[in-house]
Amino acid sequence: MIIFPAIDLKDGQCVRLKRGLMEEATIFNADPAAQAKSFAGQGFRWLHCVDLNGAFAGKSINAEAIRAIRAAISLPIQLGGGIRDRAGVETWLDAGITRVILGTAALTNPTFVKEVARAYPGRIVVGADAKNGKVATQGWAEVSDLTPVELGKRFEDAGVAALLFTDIDGDGLLKGVNVKATAHLAKAGWVRWPTSKLWLPHANPISKVWWWAAPSMTGRSIPRRPWLLRPSFCSDGG
């Protein structure tokens, strides 16, 4: 199992939202680069980063903070939020970002997503953020009629690296992973690594999700759940 510590950026600071609401932001660190260094020092093998302002604006807003993070650590980084065209994808790949997450574009422009997935194999992740079981886009402000599995099936032969699932209804609440929804995605079997963004109140949800989703993203949990930093949870496979 791989755990990706998460840095969500709002106005240049590390924050956590509740259910994706910008007005429910809690600031955890005003220095994103320092937070990234802390995660790297704790033994994690990847970093998950989201430009929250960018997700709403449809373009990268926290570029300065993202570049500072990239310069501060050697860990591979996957980045999402406001990346909607090829120029945006290539800008961040050229800047040293390892994988780019495409969420809104996956719903609104699947042809583009397939094109960049084939052009950059293993470096494009499809974001499937769900509210009440349906995919939400535009910073989670708009809800579609598609389920995450239906969205994922659009890209089953496109060479995407992963499907990243977020349960918006539980996002940031520290109530645990949506095991049923994550397992359903994994059993669909269209992609090698269905991944789940989760908030962990205790160890038991990890033992459940282990079989269904690797890797997994967690942000708010880490400062409150020090057992996450044990080497067994920070490993890069297994």
For position 166, which CATH number holds? 3.20.20.70
Q: Is 8 a catalytic residue?
A: yes
pLDDT band at 183 (very low <50, low <70, confident <90, very high): low
pLDDT at 143: 83
CA pair distance 211, 108, nearest whole angstrom: 31
Q: Is 169 a catalytic residue?
A: no
Across all residues in the chain, what is the average pLDDT? Answer: 77
Q: Which residue has the higher pLDDT, 112 or 44?
A: 112
Tell me how far CA of residue 81 lies from CA of 30, 78, 90, 100, in angstroms: 19, 11, 14, 9
Q: Tokens 């429910």 belong to which residue?
A: 24
Most confident of 17-31, 104-118, 144-158: 104-118
The least confident of 13-17, 39-43, 130-134, 212-216 is 212-216
pLDDT at 60: 95
Q: Which residue has the higher pLDDT, 48 or 136?
A: 48
- State mean pLDDT over 27-37: 94
CA pair distance 164, 81, nearest whole angstrom: 13
Residue 154, number of CB atoms within 10 A of its CB: 18
From first CA to last CA, the distance across the chain in angstroms is 6
The least confident of 52-56, 81-85, 151-155, 231-235 is 231-235
Tell me how far CA of residue 25 lies from CA of 53, 60, 149, in angstroms: 12, 19, 29
Let me know: does 102 contact 126? Beta carbons within 8 Å: yes
Residue of 11, 85, 94, 129 marked active site: 129
Q: Which residue has the higher pLDDT, 132 or 120?
A: 120
* Among the listed residues 187, 191, 177, 178, the one whose alpha carbon sits nearest the alpha carbon of residue 212: 187
pLDDT at 216: 45
pLDDT of 115 above 90: yes
The least confident of 109-113, 120-124, 170-174, 183-187 is 170-174
pLDDT band at 101 (very low <50, low <70, confident <90, very high): very high
When divided into structural domains, the chain yields a total of 1
Residue of 8, 51, 167, 171 marked active site: 8
pLDDT at 2: 75
Provide the residue range defining the domain that includes 126: 3-234
pLDDT at 91: 98
Q: For residue range 10-28, what is the model confidence (pLDDT) as tens digits?
A: 999 999 876 566 777 789 8
Q: The pTM is what?
A: 0.77
Q: CA-CA-CA-CA torsion for 71, 67, 114, 149, nearest 10 degrees?
A: 90
